[in-house]
Chains A and B, each alone.
Chain A
């Protein structure tokens, strides 16, 4: 397992997978990120991030979800693993901790 350091884009992708839980694959993840962030994302970047996340053990994939849309071909569905979940929570916790540490006077 490579280091569990999570890049910014990886974090976003991981979150998108979590949001689309159950139907998370390349196209939906891309759409989700685009809608949430309001900017266009390259499919290639998403796929490559998904690969990295899988290598790090933060997501896992399985074949499934045949739809007529894809000519009856099954697709690779991603889901967040327990490690992934923990990683997201750790980041969130870290952020919160840092937010809390900011003195009120800093904004004035």
Chain B
């Protein structure tokens, strides 16, 4: 180009030209273009000259000018085996020569790959839920959602007649089937009694909806008749051994019922959203024929036609709600659907695809505790980040160590190697490294899988048979990582000019890529610091939940959930328990504020205002319930035997008192409840119990009422002893005296409480492990870089020491630049981590606020770790005798 004042042709056509045209022609073409342009500027003016320039340039894009000159140099396509051998040999020598760098790279990559594999297995397992069903893509579940007086209803199960009604009214419903859980009672055959099988009632078309193959029996008829049961293979083996199970009769004594085995099925797959071992025919259950639209206990599934959008059917469901629920609402509440809606309430039936149940459902109660799609995203992100950090280590260390390879590149180029061959060589090298890392990673995964399974509550396995994608996946992953980690160094190293590297002039390559290296280090630490902040916040929130004042005392409360097994001897046992000096107080109630509990939706209205319906939870309790659980009364009194009228008394929680509009003046008012048949019952408020958390802290406290109601089945005992084992031993003894077959089972309330937050604890633990790993891998990289810098500056340090620099000042000199990078990373990570964790906390009704000191603490830890990593090298360098480093000169 000439001087700036002369007119310039547009630039972009030049790039296009260089992109397309053969290299041996392109200079000439460009010169022609420029010459014509300058000439035309003089003759026809600049504007038209530019126009013509573009036209000419584009006219040059023709095949005859694009043809490459046949090259006599080896191209990518012609990788000679001798050359390949040489590449491998050099790669191996390079790895063996730089042991520390190789170790850092391989360790980092192996950890990254192992994390990726574990998380990959986890995610694939989560995503595979319910997909074993042949009709998975067109099966939906009906659920019930609405709100009443501000109380939210969100239930995965619906009313008994829903399946039949939808099948009858909508032709697009091909099949409708129901499941209803039936607990896990003792099931006997002869003298064999077990209680480890989960039981469900199932409609006869179960096997037409779900792909659950029968090993014996006819899937069409197995569940048609009343009192028939289909059992799993394992159950069959347990009860009948080698005998044929078909036609045998299983007995459930506590129900006074027996069932004939009509089929044996394979186990329900682990990645199913329900797990039952015995399916009893729905015809055996009287409730299944109930016409009531006011109770909902039936999980209902519909099969829709192929290619049918379930939203279409969902749009029609409000009509069904109107048609069926409307009249019953009128009876129960004395208002029609319209009035019901006008007073701010809503109810409706909705559909959710079968394959969404595991990850996208969020119901208070479901067949199995669901997964959470957000954790899939979080763990996926962690896997990617880990791998990225490991790749960055490789890039940083390779480019930092570039000077060592510069001579090799120079010689190779002089001997006739072309750039593409060098790029190939370095890519092969990085892939080789990745391959070694992969072997280590697979070993690691084998070792860690049991631990991870324990942590994640899964049964994953690294078996090629179970996961056919494993081999191609691993090959793909290795290539991807090899290329990802190797591409930048490959292009960087192969671009050296032989003249400058062989002349032995001072190489400035290290400095050139310094900017990029620095930003990569910042990125690594940004990720590590963010993960550390997240982990800390998760742990804080968890400990907040565990230590929050719950409104009741969960310590030293013994729960015996199975006392109904004692039958009429329960009362005897209860009294014996109450007389034990180590037991403070005993209550009998199946309603528990932590862990599995009875739950009873109860619609009440204040006095006579039947349109002010409030949805409450009803707790059936006895006189001792409140003292046993250490709840506080805000006003009024507990139920007491001294008052004869307490069977019509009621105790509200504060939220209920508030929702009903009385707040602290609730005493003496009355509330009423109308049941399904229209019978009305009125209760007088005798007390207000202070709010206590009876559901998980994800949910705000909702209105609750306690009524005095004879109740049995579960004994709750407040104990006061240091000798828990002794107490349990004597209780077991008492139990065994009363019961012949059932074993003594117990739990402590605080254990049940902790179980509620198992998912969060699990996430917290997994998160902390991976956060630790990422920071470890990032530090590995930092360690490598520090080693490299210290090595490069050996002479400088020697000179400085000779001139009188102190050890401290040299350590500072070497550590400063790394610290700067970590500080920048902290600055970037702070707002992002804060935002992310705020989003996570939104999910809890009761949550901590994120404290500033978390960031300071994490920052200090990050700086501390970085400093520790770097100082190891910098102290070594600073302590070195200058004579050693300088004498070579």
- A-side residues, CB < 8 A to B, are 25-27, 30-31, 40, 42-45, 47-48, 51-52, 69-70, 73, 75-76
CB of B62 within 8 A of CB of A43, answer no
Residues from chain A with Cβ under 8 Å of B59 in the complex: 42-45
Q: Closest Cβ of chain A: how far from B40's Cβ, in Å?
A: 9
- B-side residues, CB < 8 A to A, are 27-29, 31-36, 39, 52, 55-62, 64-65
Top-3 shortest CB links A-B: A44-B59, A26-B32, A42-B59
CB of B29 within 8 A of CB of A26, answer yes
Residues from chain B with Cβ under 8 Å of A70 in the complex: 31, 34-35
CB of A48 within 8 A of CB of B62, answer yes
Q: Contact check: which of B31, B52, B55, B57 meets A75 at CB < 8 Å?
A: B31
Query: For chains A and B in complex, what number of residue pairs have CB atoms within 8 angstroms?
Result: 53
Q: Contact check: which of A27, A40, A44, A76 meets B65 at CB < 8 Å?
A: A44
Residues from chain B with Cβ under 8 Å of A31 in the complex: 36, 39
CB of B39 within 8 A of CB of A47, answer no
Q: Contact check: which of B31, B62, B64 meets A73 at CB < 8 Å?
A: B31
CB of B56 within 8 A of CB of A48, answer no
The residue of chain A having its C-beta at the shortest distance from the C-beta of B37 within the complex is A27
CB of B64 within 8 A of CB of A48, answer yes
Q: How far is the CA of A73 from the CA of B64 in the complex (A)?
A: 23
Q: Closest Cβ of chain B: how far from A50's Cβ, in Å?
A: 10
Beyond A27-B36, A27-B39, A69-B35, is A40–B52 a contact (Cβ under 8 Å)? yes
The residue of chain B having its C-beta at the shortest distance from the C-beta of A31 within the complex is B39
Q: How far is the CA of A17 from the CA of B593 in the complex (A)?
A: 100
Residues from chain B with Cβ under 8 Å of A26 in the complex: 28-29, 32
Residues from chain A with Cβ under 8 Å of B65 in the complex: 44, 47-48, 51
Known: A52-B64, A75-B31. 20 other contacts (CB 8 A): A26-B28, A26-B29, A30-B32, A30-B36, A31-B39, A40-B52, A42-B56, A42-B59, A43-B60, A44-B60, A44-B62, A44-B65, A47-B29, A47-B60, A48-B62, A48-B64, A48-B65, A51-B65, A70-B31, A70-B35
Residues from chain B with Cβ under 8 Å of A73 in the complex: 27, 31
Q: How far is the CA of A51 from the CA of B28 in the complex (A)?
A: 13
The residue of chain B having its C-beta at the shortest distance from the C-beta of A35 within the complex is B43
Residues from chain B with Cβ under 8 Å of A40 in the complex: 52
Best-surrounded residue of A25, A26, A48 (most CB of chain B within 10 A)? A26
CB of A42 within 8 A of CB of B28, answer no
Q: Closest Cβ of chain A: how far from B13's Cβ, in Å?
A: 11
Residues from chain A with Cβ under 8 Å of B31 in the complex: 27, 70, 73, 75
For this complex, 20 residue pairs linking A to B, each with C-beta atoms less than 8 Å apart, are: A25-B28, A25-B32, A26-B32, A27-B35, A30-B32, A31-B39, A42-B55, A43-B32, A43-B57, A43-B59, A44-B58, A44-B61, A44-B62, A47-B32, A51-B64, A70-B31, A70-B34, A73-B27, A75-B28, A76-B28
The residue of chain B having its C-beta at the shortest distance from the C-beta of A74 within the complex is B28
Q: How far is the CA of A11 from the CA of B31 in the complex (A)?
A: 24
Residues from chain A with Cβ under 8 Å of B57 in the complex: 43
Best-surrounded residue of B32, B60, B61, B62 (most CB of chain A within 10 A)? B32
Residues from chain B with Cβ under 8 Å of A75 in the complex: 28, 31
The residue of chain B having its C-beta at the shortest distance from the C-beta of A26 within the complex is B32
Q: Closest Cβ of chain B: how far from A66's Cβ, in Å?
A: 11
Q: Closest Cβ of chain A: how far from B186's Cβ, in Å?
A: 91
The residue of chain A having its C-beta at the shortest distance from the C-beta of B58 within the complex is A44
Residues from chain A with Cβ under 8 Å of B36 in the complex: 27, 30-31, 43
Best-surrounded residue of A25, A47, A69 (most CB of chain B within 10 A)? A47
The residue of chain B having its C-beta at the shortest distance from the C-beta of A30 within the complex is B36
Q: Closest Cβ of chain A: how far from B39's Cβ, in Å?
A: 7
Q: Closest Cβ of chain A: how far from B157's Cβ, in Å?
A: 74
Q: How far is the CA of A8 from the CA of B684 in the complex (A)?
A: 111
Q: Closest Cβ of chain A: how far from B29's Cβ, in Å?
A: 7
The residue of chain A having its C-beta at the shortest distance from the C-beta of B56 within the complex is A43
The residue of chain B having its C-beta at the shortest distance from the C-beta of A44 within the complex is B59
Q: How far is the CA of A67 from the CA of B322 in the complex (A)?
A: 92
Residues from chain A with Cβ under 8 Å of B39 in the complex: 27, 31
Q: How far is the CA of A13 from the CA of B377 in the complex (A)?
A: 66
The residue of chain A having its C-beta at the shortest distance from the C-beta of B34 within the complex is A70
The residue of chain A having its C-beta at the shortest distance from the C-beta of B31 within the complex is A70
CB of B27 within 8 A of CB of A44, answer no
Q: How far is the CA of A107 from the CA of B595 in the complex (A)?
A: 113
Residues from chain B with Cβ under 8 Å of A45 in the complex: 59
Best-surrounded residue of B39, B55, B59 (most CB of chain A within 10 A)? B59
Q: Closest Cβ of chain B: how far from A9's Cβ, in Å?
A: 13
Q: How far is the CA of A51 from the CA of B64 in the complex (A)?
A: 8
Q: How far is the CA of A26 from the CA of B36 in the complex (A)?
A: 9
Q: How far is the CA of A75 from the CA of B36 in the complex (A)?
A: 14
Residues from chain B with Cβ under 8 Å of A27 in the complex: 31-32, 35-36, 39
Q: How far is the CA of A27 from the CA of B64 in the complex (A)?
A: 18
Q: How far is the CA of A45 from the CA of B810 in the complex (A)?
A: 68
Q: Closest Cβ of chain A: how far from B2's Cβ, in Å?
A: 9
Q: Closest Cβ of chain B: how far from A30's Cβ, in Å?
A: 6
Q: Closest Cβ of chain A: how far from B585's Cβ, in Å?
A: 99
Q: Closest Cβ of chain A: how far from B309's Cβ, in Å?
A: 54
Residues from chain A with Cβ under 8 Å of B56 in the complex: 42-44
Residues from chain A with Cβ under 8 Å of B27 in the complex: 73
Residues from chain B with Cβ under 8 Å of A69 in the complex: 35
Q: Closest Cβ of chain B: how far from A31's Cβ, in Å?
A: 7
Residues from chain B with Cβ under 8 Å of A30 in the complex: 32, 36
The residue of chain A having its C-beta at the shortest distance from the C-beta of B44 within the complex is A40
Q: How far is the CA of A76 from the CA of B29 in the complex (A)?
A: 10
Q: Closest Cβ of chain B: how far from A68's Cβ, in Å?
A: 10
Q: How far is the CA of A8 from the CA of B62 in the complex (A)?
A: 20
The residue of chain B having its C-beta at the shortest distance from the C-beta of A25 within the complex is B32
Q: How far is the CA of A43 from the CA of B56 in the complex (A)?
A: 5
Q: How far is the CA of A48 from the CA of B55 in the complex (A)?
A: 15
Q: Closest Cβ of chain A: how far from B596's Cβ, in Å?
A: 81
Q: Closest Cβ of chain B: how far from A2's Cβ, in Å?
A: 13
The residue of chain B having its C-beta at the shortest distance from the C-beta of A69 within the complex is B35
Q: How far is the CA of A52 from the CA of B27 in the complex (A)?
A: 19
Q: How far is the CA of A91 from the CA of B55 in the complex (A)?
A: 32
Best-surrounded residue of B35, B59, B60 (most CB of chain A within 10 A)? B35
Q: Closest Cβ of chain A: how far from B57's Cβ, in Å?
A: 8
Q: How far is the CA of A31 from the CA of B34 in the complex (A)?
A: 13
Q: How far is the CA of A73 from the CA of B35 in the complex (A)?
A: 12
Q: Closest Cβ of chain A: how far from B20's Cβ, in Å?
A: 11
Q: How far is the CA of A48 from the CA of B65 in the complex (A)?
A: 7
Residues from chain A with Cβ under 8 Å of B34 in the complex: 70
Q: Closest Cβ of chain B: how far from A49's Cβ, in Å?
A: 10
Q: How far is the CA of A85 from the CA of B65 in the complex (A)?
A: 25
The residue of chain A having its C-beta at the shortest distance from the C-beta of B39 within the complex is A31
The residue of chain B having its C-beta at the shortest distance from the C-beta of A76 within the complex is B28
Q: How far is the CA of A75 from the CA of B34 in the complex (A)?
A: 13
